Amino acid sequence: MTDSKYFTTTKKGEIFELKAELNSDKKEKKKEAVKKVIASMTVGKDVSALFPDVVNCMQTDNLELKKLVYLYLMNYAKSQPDMAIMAVNTFVKDCEDPNPLIRALAVRTMGCIRVDKITEYLCEPLRKCLKDEDPYVRKTAAVCVAKLHDINAQLVEDQGFLDTLKDLISDSNPMVVANAVAALSEIAESHPSSNLLDLNPQSINKLLTALNECTEWGQIFILDCLANYTPKDDREAQSICERVTPRLSHANSAVVLSAVKVLMKFMEMLSKDLDYYGTLLKKLAPPLVTLLSAEPELQYVALRNINLIVQKRPEILKHEMKVFFVKYNDPIYVKLEKLDIMIRLASQANIAQVLAELKEYATEVDVDFVRKAVRAIGRCAIKVEQSAERCVSTLLDLIQTKVNYVVQEAIVVIKDIFRKYPNKYESVIATLCENLDSLDEPEARAAMIWIVGEYAERIDNADELLESFLEGFHDESTQVQLQLLTAIVKLFLKKPTETQELVQQVLSLATQDSDNPDLRDRGYIYWRLLSTDPVAAKEVVLAEKPLISEETDLIEPTLLDELICYIGTLASVYHKPPSAFVEGGRGVVHKSLPPRTASSESTESPETAPAGAPPGEQLDVIPTQGDLLGDLLNLDLGPPVSGPPLATSSVQMGAVDLLGSGLDSLIGASNFVSPPAAAVPANLGAPMGSGLSDLFDLTSGVGTLSGSYVAPKAVWLPAMKAKGLEISGTFTRQVGSISMDLQLTNKALQVMTDFAIQFNRNSFGLAPAAPLQVHAPLSPNQTVEISLPLNTVGSVMKMEPLNNLQVAVKNNIDVFYFSTLYPLHILFVEDGKMDRQMFLATWKDIPNENEAQFQIRDCPLNAEAVSSRLQSSNIFTIAKRNVEGQDMLYQSLKLTNGIWVLAELRIQPGNPSFMLSLKCRAPEVSQHVYQAYETILKN
């Protein structure tokens, strides 16, 4: 009879009987009793009362009985630590047993008993087992070190076990090597800072030698370890790839994926001109294809990994389209994944095949799959231009089937096709309008409304169609309401005479009867635009829309590179980095691909670019987007009012400035559902001076003529926060004009266009003096340098800190917000030299409590050098005298808003510390003026 009989008993009060049986003299009876105890423990009964009796059974030569007792011990040692100590002697004895299986069993159990009191007793037996003559014992002991490290890391380090583990990497037995690597990798993951796996060409060579002879899991440990190594050059990378390639033909899919990960990572270092690079690409395809003949769950994991590989290197599988065709019996999750990869591999060469296949899928019975297939046809049209016509006719055929969900998906994708190929396929609009009544999904309704609004001049009854949607305006989803508002405003601008009532109706519905802030804001903006300047409204709402890019659902490049390093793990199935789903700090190490070699085509990969500003530069002042929106939204929504008259300019911020200050460029395309703040900087920017852009034509990159200090560019907006757009910059003052020198880098996969910039109100009224001009579209991985002229006639609002500047930048993708600190010396004007008598009178006139004193340390300049350096940044020395061996410099400077700052600088020859006294009627600027002194004198 099998051991299942032990689980069928339901007797009460058997603990007492078991106790008697465990103490029996007969070996067989003892074994039976221990089996019953383990069975009770397994089904959840508490048999901890039998602890001493079970431990007594440890003294036996019978391996099966010993295993059972050890199993019991592992389970109850935590709740009975005092009793568990009784078992320590047996462990120590078993670690010296002549049978290697028993030695290994003892050391394995020791690792699983997570009791602090016991761990120190286990160090000696573990040390012996790590140096045991039998490889089976050594490999078990290696894993035990990792377990012990998890319980008490300090103990493992003090006992020198980590060094012993490192020595085991050179062991003669491949399984010992694999387990040592696995143990070290595990420890290194929980302590990312420790350099445990100090890999060098010699140790890599040993690992590669062991790779051929290990078990499959041993191979995976070694391959994962190899993937963390960065070869010193492309020759070493190639030699490792050559030795790893045979693993691609392994029967275990996990080994294959680990090998693919190593090869994908090291291919980064190989030049595409090498013959070997081409050979490697050819070798990678067959194993990936083979993975797709496994059972569905494995297929799914393989497909998720292939999805990443195809995004990184589509050339690997470009000839293998057929294996991704869907089989009738594939589960839905496999079908959808295959469909995704088919689109990624679609090209001019195979598009006919793909379309025929997709058209077939669109007549299936599975609704989700059919929807995805129809979307896929649209994506093909956008990706492969030559196929667009065929795709549109396929979609029209599908619309004729009158199957509701097919029609709705088709309309959504046709809208995108119109955006990609304007004025080409508009002849199909009539067919679309016939299906208007059957649309019940928000996305399809919104798409149809967009089409009607965009092509209103071609549709005779456009007003009737839109009016039919307006009847149930408040029951529609936000997406549809926003689209309807924009479409009716477009219609009004195209046919003003017959649609006046309609536009009044929708504007009052959107503003007065709606409590959705997005809808209200958009309604008010349109209302103001239409009432103040219909010509400007036309330019804004009917502006030419940017073409949409082909692949919108690609993974962001830096994330893709990180995920490639996690092929074959959960991260590659979720398509998220481990930090997104692993709780706590353990095991989350950010990985990236090795930098490309010089011979490769890309000189700077996104990973090597700086990810943030220098520490201390601006991190403490960047508000969250929420704060910024709150600030940028600080508008009243009554009729437009004039801004306060400013000291430096009498320009009134009237209604027309709403349009003149770049609002049109910030709203962008009319079907672009922007956050409210996208439209807000309306009255934040400065009114454009006529011809300012000519006056300030500094974009040709003139050097700093006056010699004023310019800080090096810092990253203001990292790419990860702006969908791939990275902005670095600095501020300069050149012969009286202030500029913001920007460097825009496109780290996304799509072209960026339609740039515009807006500043929030700030302490000194800084505002762009001309539009942000990026003359050509910014392609992926391209960088452009721009000098944006600034003036100081914008709206003023005191910021915290005083020199904080909040900026909104818009492109065809979205609107992005960031905040930066400008150095105050860019605001020091050229006529800041005060007359001597005036200086004396003003110094006396400013109250003493307004005087602030600062110390400037580590500045080894003499008075002459200090004076000339400060003068180049418009801090003027009015008088100089020597008092008791000290040089006293009396200086003045004037800010753009007319505030004077007076200074006394005391310099003791030979002493690198200066004393600076500042007097000013606005004492809050003193701290920033002192910072300007420090910056200018120390750079």
- How would you write 321-352 as a 3-class SS string? HHHHCCCCCCCHHHHHHHHHHHHHHCCCCCHH
Distance CA 245, CA 267 (A): 12
Q: Is residue 127 part of a domain?
A: yes
- Cβ–Cβ < 8 Å for 308, 280: no
Exposed, middle or buried by CB within 10 Å (0-12, 13-18, 19+), for 358?
buried
Of 736, 834, 832, 710, nearest in space to 789 by CA: 736
Which of 532, 552, 582 is the last residue before a domain boundary? 532
Of 278, 309, 250, 340, nearest in space to 593 by CA: 309
Which of 207, 228, 249 is the last residue before a domain boundary? 228
Q: Is residue 93 part of a domain?
A: yes
Of 610, 848, 587, nearest in space to 716 by CA: 610
Structure tokens, 312:
């990184």
Which of 420, 439, 458 is the last residue before a domain boundary? 439
For residue 433, give its domain range.
Answer: 346-439
Number of H helices, E strands in the chain: 41, 13
| CATH (domain of 114) | 1.25.10.10
Residues contacting 807, CB < 8 A, separation 6+: 716, 757, 758, 759, 760, 817, 818, 819, 820
Q: Which of the 8 DSSP states describes residue 687?
A: P
pTM of the entire structure?
Answer: 0.59
Residues contacting 698, CB < 8 A, separation 6+: 734, 737, 739, 787, 789
Structure tokens, 661:
């200050």
Distance CA 515, CA 535 (A): 29
Same domain, 218 and 91: yes
Exposed, middle or buried by CB within 10 Å (0-12, 13-18, 19+), for 172?
exposed
Tell me the C-alpha to C-alpha distance, in Å, between residue 142 and each of 116, 146, 186, 376, 463: 19, 7, 11, 51, 77
Same domain, 730 and 868: no
Residue 597, classed as helix, strand or coil, is: coil
- Cβ–Cβ < 8 Å for 308, 259: no
Of 830, 852, 823, 833, nearest in space to 890 by CA: 833
Question: Which region holds residue 170: left if phi is over 0, alpha if psi is between -120 and 50, else beta?
Answer: alpha
- Cβ–Cβ < 8 Å for 244, 213: no
The per-residue pLDDT for 550 is 65
| Mean pLDDT split into 10-residue runs, the chain, 939 residues | 59 71 79 84 82 79 81 79 75 82 85 76 84 90 88 84 85 88 85 73 86 88 88 88 91 92 89 86 90 90 93 88 89 91 88 88 86 89 86 88 86 87 82 82 90 86 84 87 92 86 88 88 90 85 80 79 90 89 66 64 39 38 40 37 36 33 36 35 35 33 54 90 92 89 90 91 91 88 91 89 91 91 91 89 88 88 88 91 87 91 90 90 90 88
Of 665, 636, 642, 638, nearest in space to 655 by CA: 642
Structure tokens, 893:
């400077």
Total domains, the chain: 5
Same domain, 396 and 455: no
The number of residues in the chain equals: 939
Same domain, 887 and 749: no
**DSSP H helical segments within 362-516, as ranges?**
367-383, 388-400, 404-420, 429-434, 442-454, 462-470, 478-494, 500-511
- Cβ–Cβ < 8 Å for 913, 845: no
Q: Is residue 114 part of a domain?
A: yes
Same domain, 73 and 195: yes
Strand partners, 828: 895
Element holding 917 (H helix, E strand):
strand 914-920
Q: Is residue 289 part of a domain?
A: no
Element holding 71 (H helix, E strand):
helix 63-76
| CATH (domain of 760) | 2.60.40.1150
Same domain, 776 and 921: no
- Cβ–Cβ < 8 Å for 485, 523: yes
Q: Is residue 493 part of a domain?
A: yes
Look at the block and give the residue holding tokens 């030699």.
239
DSSP letter string over 79-131? T-HHHHGGGHHHHHHHTT-SSHHHHHHHHHHHHH---HHHHGGGHHHHHHHHT
Half-sphere exposure of 417 (CA within 13 A, CB side): 34
The per-residue pLDDT for 631 is 40
Residues contacting 504, CB < 8 A, separation 6+: none
Same domain, 44 and 193: yes
- Helix, strand, coil proportions of the chain in percent (round to 5)? 55, 10, 35
Distance CA 553, CA 84 (A): 57
Distance CA 489, CA 505 (A): 11
Same domain, 432 and 489: no
Of 674, 401, 423, nearest in space to 409 by CA: 401
Distance CA 529, CA 469 (A): 24
User: What are residue 298's phi and psi, to 5 degrees?
Assistant: -70, -40
User: What are residue 64's phi and psi, to 5 degrees?
Assistant: -65, -45
Exposed, middle or buried by CB within 10 Å (0-12, 13-18, 19+), for 898?
exposed
- Cβ–Cβ < 8 Å for 260, 294: no
Q: Is residue 642 part of a domain?
A: no
The per-residue pLDDT for 704 is 36
Distance CA 216, CA 383 (A): 41
Same domain, 806 and 773: yes
The per-residue pLDDT for 624 is 42
Same domain, 728 and 850: no
Same domain, 427 and 474: no
Distance CA 558, CA 726 (A): 13
Same domain, 429 and 501: no
Packing angle, helices 275-291 and 253-267, rounded to 10 = 150
